[in-house]
Structure 1
Amino acid sequence: MSELQLTHLTYCGPNLPPAQIVFGPELTVIYGTSDTGKSFIVKSIEYMLGGADLAMVPEGDGYTQILLGLLMPDGSPLTLLRAPDSNSIFLYRADLRDLVMATPDASVTAVHNARSRNSLSIHLLRALGLDEVLIRKNEAGGTRPLALSDLLHLSLVTEKRMIGDVPPVLRTGTASTRTAELSVMRFLVTGEGDPAVDAGLNAGQRRVHKGQVQLLDQLVLDLSAKLVTQENERQLRDRLIRIRTALDEQSAPLRQVNESHREAVDSRMETARELAALDERLTEVSDLLGRFKLLEAQYRSDLERLAMVNEAGSILGYFKVGACPFCGAEREHQQANHRVEETTQLHIAVQAEAAKTTALLADLLPTIADLDGEQTALISRRVEAQSDIGVWDQIIADLEGGIAALRSNVEELVEERSVVERELELQTRIAELDDKKSRLVGEGAVVTTRPTQHIPTATVGAFDSILQQTLNAWQVPAADHAEYDQYYAEIRAGGRKRIERGKGMRSVLHSAFTTALARFCMDRDLHHLGFVVLDSPVVTFRDPEPDDIDDVELTSTVVDRFYKDMLSFPGQAIIMENGDPPTKVLSEAVTYHFTGTASGGRAGFFPASMR
């Protein structure tokens, strides 16, 4: 029978070393310290095979591509490429294990849609020969196509599901999907799908169906009441095109006017800054002129006073009697030419001081003249700048008036566009609800004969035998009389349901069911994905938890026997565990030991430099 095989899981990113696990064709064991990426590997495989989302770990920052390598049933390689937080999956018909830059051979969506042929589920099911298989979707016998997710949870078991309360056969545990999940189990162990009939709904479902139709009618009425026009969808779309055209026509002039307004504001600001600089310089020049003119007046006053002193000295020189008017000496102390000498000395001193002051005045006058010229030029430029600001103010006012008019037109068009888009959205929603109602109404037919939904007793007995053999091979205590109860979709062992056992026993029973189902299908050439991925299948010790149910203790013997049995597993097995596997497994299987530290071998899934 056609099967798949996982070859590698690789994370790639620009300028980052790849994070990669290469899976062996038979048994691969990844073990070691907690929080090193073992469970993340399982979740990544699930994500790459159509999972809805993947919670990235901090060590994965910067990795932009996830690659999952497969061997198809015909032996050809296929690489799936998917980015984190993306529903698109790119297919490469080659074995790629590094950053991919090539154009994909095909592109599919991760979301399964029975009405679309472009999904990963349809692509892989077609390769497995399962794309035409139908399974029952309700108790009345209605059917739907098989999806990859219907099979994946029976081959890949996360740690949460391993110890969870939901039975291994069921994927969600909800009532709405229970019939389909039981139908998948029946298909795997019998090889027979359900006939392509739509048998309608049972009584309870018809009541729900009627309520759904009434609810949809009410929703349509509520949405129709919100419509403000009587235009149909085509008229609204034509109107929307006209509005968008008008908006484009109005937006160009508005952008031009806005640009002119910005330029005018910039120019006014530049002129205002120049005017402020002129005012500052005028203040400095006026202050300097005031000071220098006071100094000029002082110099001229000094010169006039020196002239008067010189003239007075000449006059005083004619007095002959009494004390000397220049030095104050009494007559008896004066020499014959005393007054002439004093007059001459005074004249010389006055002339020297007058020459000095005249020179200072001569230096000052050109400076005053320059400042007067600068003041005149500054005043003239200030008047021009004030005039320019007035001109810019007028230009800005005119542009703002134009902007207001154009913006008013654009806002009206935007508002009208919003109304039309809202109308179209309402009409689209109404059409969707009408379509859902039509499909619901079409599901009301009931046929007189419903196809069987139970697995034949002989087939169940044969599967129970494989399940018991598996538990015996693992030497699991208190697990006699193991069986699959198809009416409750539960596993029983040791006279107790799986849900009534402790977490460790629930893990072992879930693992035994998954591997027994794979063995059953492969031994009988029935359909199966061909691999099992088990996260923490055998737990020898767990810290006590308040809600744990008392149960038998699982010894190391169970672990050893589990690994020994998995070495002879007919398909591909990938195991994640904390504890070390037996020495025989280390020598015969592909193993990875995650130490949690860079110094002790491989730290974890992601390179140690990124941890």
Structure 2
Amino acid sequence: MAYKRIVLRHLAFTGSRIDDVKLTFSRGLNIIYGASNTGKSFVAKALQFMLAVTTKLPQPNELEPYTGVWLGLTMPDGKDVTLYRSVKGGAFRLYDGLVSRNNGSSVVLRGLADAQRSDTTSNFILDSIGLSGKVVAKNASGEKEDLAIRHVLPYAIVSEGDIMAESSPIYHSKQFASRTFEKNLLRLMLSGSDDRDVVTTVRKETYEVATAAKIELVDELILQIDREVGEDPRVRDDLEAQLKVTTNSMERLQDELRVTQEHLDDLMFQRRSLTDERRQAATKAAELGITMQRFLQLNETYTSDLRRLEALEEGGLALMAMTGRECPVCGASTAEQRHHHADDEIELVRRSAKAELCKIVIEQTDLKRTLTSLAQDESNLQSKLSEMDLLIENMELEIRDARPIEGTSRSKYLELIEQHSYLRRFVELSDRRAALSGRRSELASERPAIGEQLSSGIDDTMAFELGKAVASVLERWGFPDFDKVQYDLKTNDVSIGGKRRDDNGKGVRAILHAAFNVALLLYCKENTLPHPGFLVLDTPLLTYREPLTSKHGELADDEARLKKSPLALKFYSHLAELEGSAQFIVLENADPPAEALKLAKVQVFTGRRDEGRYGLFPV
């Protein structure tokens, strides 16, 4: 199997109203050094954030204008990709190619690790180096935890605080409860084999306490059921028989209730239909009454007109009779009268009045026939309304008689439902009590696997090989007494001639921690074991600090002696020689030796506004 490694290509920060900030990395040795408080350690934290080790990115003031972070990677299969994440955290976006701006298509990856999902950044990285799906025993009983990228990357990104810490290089969490997991993780790194086949066991004392607690809980549940059932619980067979009788009664009564309800519904439907029909008939009768009232008024008008026309005709006859005679009022003779009316004019008026009189008589006759017909229709409608009122009244009586029957049936049915639920509840409690009693018997008779406690961590052979690998690295660095270096299984740390690493000064602890991580990477490479393939070291050469200006204070004696050696140059030279095997990013405050600057891609953070690059972010 070929050795798989990831190469970090660039780290960029972008915002909508500010120029991009970008760091690029070579495949071999990279050195970022310069003044304090210029963002060197922030680079390591940003890499942890972008590789899903942490969920939150520190928020210094300099980061405020930026909204996104981009990490370019070359994966073990040679494909270039870029991970994007908001500076506020959350999910990732995966782009093809090395980009620092949205180029269109991307895949969303979840930020939180989940072994059951493939769409997580953790699984994406672990799968690329051959570590996906691995499990690690987390305690002596063999309980397991799924491997996540946050467990592995502390071997690839070592912070300033961790590199000089007194704790072991493998105890990344600083939690005592996690030490078994972390020792077994080292075994996975050195062997490539996880703990999937480990049999989970329990200690006898633990099992007995847990079993007693379970039995106590079951007893409490049984007691609760007994309290609910009462002092004289019914036999389950009797309950089943009563339940069956109740069920049959419910089915029979349900049929009766259905028939009664259907009859009542039919009566109510008929009543509603009759009521609607009566309403329509009443409306028609009212309209008919209004029409007759109008026709009666018209008949009165006809009668008045007939009287007027009859008077007019009679006046015409009278005038015709007095034509050529003395005036009946004053006695004037015909010759002395001033007004002369032609006989034909009077006759014409009389005839017109008579003709109009005849016409109105005909129309009034037709109107009377119509009124007679309408009166008959009205009488028929009134008779029909009376019949409907009687039918509705009889329907109301039927409905009134049917309601109590339906109500009685429904009440009986509801009573049966309540009784059925009551009996069903007792049956369920009886079944539950029987199940709990059975479970109690199982707990009392169970004999689970109780075996020896699982050994954790690496064995003597692995420890010896790891110690040799660390000694080999320190030899290349020119570290004094490298031949006395070994890996101590008691402390799970590097020791020198029996002297524990934590008994040395900060600078020596940092060198030994760095050597441990470089040795582990090389061991994995030489044995084709999974490893990210890159190593970020924050301040590994702490011993070369200036005591008067460094926050870490005066040099210890062992640090002072080490500072006088050519270790720094050899350190950088050795890492530069490993370009084909691994990528290194060294973050330092102290200036590297001039010769080392020729061996690496160097980026200087001057901390000065008018000289070179101020820091990770511009001022």
TM-score by length of 1: 0.58
State the alpha-carbon separation in 1 of the partners of residues 459 and 583 from structure 2.
28
State the alpha-carbon separation in 2 of the partners of residues 133 and 445 from structure 1.
26
Which secondary structure does the structure 1 equivalent of 2:613 belong to? coil
Code of the residue aligned with 2:36 in structure 1: it is S
C-alpha displacement of 1:208: 9.4
Q: How does 1:113-192 map to 2 (within 5 A)?
A: 113-192=114-193
Asked if 2 retains the 8 angstrom alpha-carbon contact of 1:535 and 1:576, the reply is yes
Over 3 Å counting, the alpha-carbon distance change for 1:209 and 1:563 in structure 2 is farther
Matched, 1:485 2:488: yes
1:256-305 CA-to-partner distances (Å, cap 9, x unmatched) read xxxxxxxxxxxxxxxxxxxxxxxxxxxxxxxxxxxxxxxxxxxxxxxxxx
1:390 counterpart residue number: none
Q: How does 1:301-450 map to 2 (within 5 A)?
A: 446=449, 448=451
C-alpha displacement of 1:453: 3.3
Over 3 Å counting, the alpha-carbon distance change for 1:15 and 1:211 in structure 2 is farther
Q: Which of the residues 79, 82, 98 maps onto 1:79?
A: 82
Which secondary structure does the structure 2 equivalent of 1:78 belong to? strand
1:534-579 CA-to-partner distances (Å, cap 9, x unmatched) read 0000121353869997644231522111111111122011100112
Asked if 1 retains the 8 angstrom alpha-carbon contact of 2:183 and 2:458, the reply is no
1:560 counterpart residue number: 569
State the alpha-carbon separation in 2 of the partners of residues 120 and 213 from structure 1.
40
Code of the residue aligned with 2:24 in structure 1: it is V
State the alpha-carbon separation in 1 of the partners of residues 10 and 68 from structure 2.
14
Asked if 2 retains the 8 angstrom alpha-carbon contact of 1:536 and 1:577, the reply is yes
2:391 counterpart residue number: none
1:541 counterpart residue number: 545
Which secondary structure does the structure 2 equivalent of 1:483 belong to? strand
Which secondary structure does the structure 1 equivalent of 2:598 belong to? helix
Does 527-536 or 56-65 show the bigger shift?
Answer: 56-65
Asked if 2 retains the 8 angstrom alpha-carbon contact of 1:69 and 1:95, the reply is yes
1:376 counterpart residue number: none
Does 544-553 or 122-131 show the bigger shift?
Answer: 544-553
In structure 2, runs of 5+ residues without a counterpart are 219-442
Which secondary structure does the structure 2 equivalent of 1:567 belong to? helix
2:5 counterpart residue number: 3
Over 3 Å counting, the alpha-carbon distance change for 1:110 and 1:205 in structure 2 is farther
Does 459-468 or 155-164 show the bigger shift?
Answer: 459-468
Asked if 1 retains the 8 angstrom alpha-carbon contact of 2:156 and 2:532, the reply is yes
Which secondary structure does the structure 2 equivalent of 1:184 belong to? helix
Over 3 Å counting, the alpha-carbon distance change for 1:203 and 1:36 in structure 2 is farther
C-alpha displacement of 1:91: 1.0
Over 3 Å counting, the alpha-carbon distance change for 1:213 and 1:483 in structure 2 is farther
C-alpha displacement of 1:212: 11
Over 3 Å counting, the alpha-carbon distance change for 1:593 and 1:137 in structure 2 is same
1:84-127 CA-to-partner distances (Å, cap 9, x unmatched) read 22221111122112x326342x2122221233333211121122
C-alpha displacement of 1:130: 1.6
State the alpha-carbon separation in 1 of the partners of residues 49 and 211 from structure 2.
37
Q: Which of the residues 30, 33, 52 maps onto 1:31?
A: 33
Asked if 1 retains the 8 angstrom alpha-carbon contact of 2:160 and 2:539, the reply is yes
C-alpha displacement of 1:587: 2.0
Over 3 Å counting, the alpha-carbon distance change for 1:491 and 1:212 in structure 2 is farther
Over 3 Å counting, the alpha-carbon distance change for 1:155 and 1:192 in structure 2 is same
C-alpha displacement of 1:590: 0.7
1:579 counterpart residue number: 590
Code of the residue aligned with 1:555 in structure 2: it is K
Code of the residue aligned with 2:163 in structure 1: it is M
Asked if 1 retains the 8 angstrom alpha-carbon contact of 2:13 and 2:67, the reply is yes
C-alpha displacement of 1:454: 4.2
Asked if 2 retains the 8 angstrom alpha-carbon contact of 1:3 and 1:530, the reply is yes
Code of the residue aligned with 2:570 in structure 1: it is R
1:433 counterpart residue number: none
Q: Which of the residues 10, 16, 19 maps onto 2:18?
A: 16
Asked if 2 retains the 8 angstrom alpha-carbon contact of 1:470 and 1:512, the reply is yes
C-alpha displacement of 1:499: 1.5
State the alpha-carbon separation in 1 of the partners of residues 607 and 212 from structure 2.
55
Asked if 2 retains the 8 angstrom alpha-carbon contact of 1:199 and 1:445, the reply is no
Q: How does 1:263-278 map to 2 (within 5 A)?
A: none
Asked if 2 retains the 8 angstrom alpha-carbon contact of 1:32 and 1:595, the reply is yes
Which secondary structure does the structure 2 equivalent of 1:62 belong to? coil
Asked if 1 retains the 8 angstrom alpha-carbon contact of 2:5 and 2:129, the reply is yes
1:108 counterpart residue number: 109
C-alpha displacement of 1:52: 2.4
Which secondary structure does the structure 2 equivalent of 1:17 belong to? strand
2:474 counterpart residue number: 471
2:248 counterpart residue number: none
State the alpha-carbon separation in 2 of the partners of residues 536 and 543 from structure 1.
15
State the alpha-carbon separation in 2 of the partners of residues 33 and 47 from structure 1.
23
Over 3 Å counting, the alpha-carbon distance change for 1:109 and 1:486 in structure 2 is farther
1:331-355 CA-to-partner distances (Å, cap 9, x unmatched) read xxxxxxxxxxxxxxxxxxxxxxxxx
In structure 1, runs of 5+ residues without a counterpart are 218-440
Which secondary structure does the structure 2 equivalent of 1:598 belong to? coil
Larger Rg: 2
Which secondary structure does the structure 1 equivalent of 2:535 belong to? strand
State the alpha-carbon separation in 2 of the partners of residues 211 and 11 from structure 1.
58
TM-score by length of 2: 0.57
Over 3 Å counting, the alpha-carbon distance change for 1:486 and 1:558 in structure 2 is same
Asked if 2 retains the 8 angstrom alpha-carbon contact of 1:501 and 1:550, the reply is no
1:497 counterpart residue number: 500
1:55 counterpart residue number: 58
Provide the alpha-carbon RMSD of the alignment: 3.0
Which secondary structure does the structure 2 equivalent of 1:515 belong to? helix
Asked if 2 retains the 8 angstrom alpha-carbon contact of 1:167 and 1:173, the reply is no
Q: How does 1:239-258 map to 2 (within 5 A)?
A: none
Identity over the aligned pairs, expressed in percent? 28
State the alpha-carbon separation in 2 of the partners of residues 543 and 101 from structure 1.
48
Aligned residues: 382
Code of the residue aligned with 2:23 in structure 1: it is I
Which secondary structure does the structure 1 equivalent of 2:10 belong to? strand
Over 3 Å counting, the alpha-carbon distance change for 1:464 and 1:197 in structure 2 is closer
Asked if 2 retains the 8 angstrom alpha-carbon contact of 1:6 and 1:70, the reply is yes
C-alpha displacement of 1:502: 1.2
State the alpha-carbon separation in 2 of the partners of residues 208 and 81 from structure 1.
50
State the alpha-carbon separation in 2 of the partners of residues 131 and 463 from structure 1.
24
1:260 counterpart residue number: none
1:606 counterpart residue number: 617
